[in-house]
Amino acid sequence: MIAFLRRMTQHQSARFRPELPMNSSPSGIRWRRVVGAAFAAIGLSVLVLCVIVAAYAFGLALQARGAPDQSAINHFAAGISRAMMPWLEAALTFWCAVVVARKSKPTGALHGLLIGLLAGAISLILPLALAGRLSLQNAGFFALTVVLGAIGGSIGNASSVRP
């Protein structure tokens, strides 16, 4: 009954307008997927590093047969995060772009590029906020993240979608 009343009260021109999905814009970009994938790439890279550091701490605890050395864990975590974090962010951005592009045809390549831009921007903002400066290396990893996002979007757009 409610649906019937809604149809009767709609304007005639609005009745024939195609409906957009809730998380889509008129351009076909699904912004929730783009933002979610970019934050997922950054969050998963942090999670992977936490698991690696936890495994190292567990190994130290087994060797010491008790509480591990906190300074050794901190030293390991600082070294590995500086070395691995940008590479993990770029690789996980590629993977997230492929996954989102498979579900976002025909604009999957654009989705991948936007995911790369957003994940790269987040990875630029974090060192600026935490360390107070940016380096040429940060700019290079930003470019790498954007390129890998675009490539991932193109690959995901070209691959078949499983229902």
Q: Kindly report, residue by residue over 6-59, the tens digit of the pLDDT.
A: 555 565 444 445 454 555 555 677 888 899 999 999 999 999 999 999 999 999
Residue 54 lies in a domain: yes
Largest interatomic CA distance in the chain: 77
Query: Quick one: pLDDT band at residue 136, thresholds 50, 70, 90?
Result: confident
Interatomic CA distance for residues 57 and 73, integer angstroms: 6
- Give the Cα separation of 116 and 93 in Å (integer): 6
- Percent of the chain whose pLDDT exceeds 90: 43
Identify whether 138 is part of a domain: yes
Helix (H) or strand (E) holding 81: helix 70-103
**Beta-carbon neighbour count of residue 47 at 10 Å?**
13
pLDDT value of residue 128: 83
pTM of the model: 0.75
pLDDT of residue 13: 47
Say which DSSP state 47 is in. H
11 in a structural domain: no
3-class state of residue 65 by DSSP: coil
| Domain range enclosing 142 | 29-158
Residue 16: per-residue pLDDT = 47
Which pLDDT belongs to residue 148? Answer: 94
| Region of 132 on the Ramachandran plot (φ > 0 left; ψ -120 to 50 alpha; else beta) | left
Q: Is residue 52 part of a domain?
A: yes
**Residue 21 has what pLDDT?**
53
Domains: count for the chain: 1
Is residue 99 included in any domain, yes or no?
yes
Q: Give the span between the Cα atoms of 29 and 13, in whole angstroms.
A: 25
Task: Work out the number of other CB atoms within 10 angstroms of the CB of residue 106.
Answer: 8
| Residue 35 falls inside a structural domain | yes
Of the CA atoms within 13 Å of residue 83, those in its CB half-sphere come to 7
Residue type, 158: A
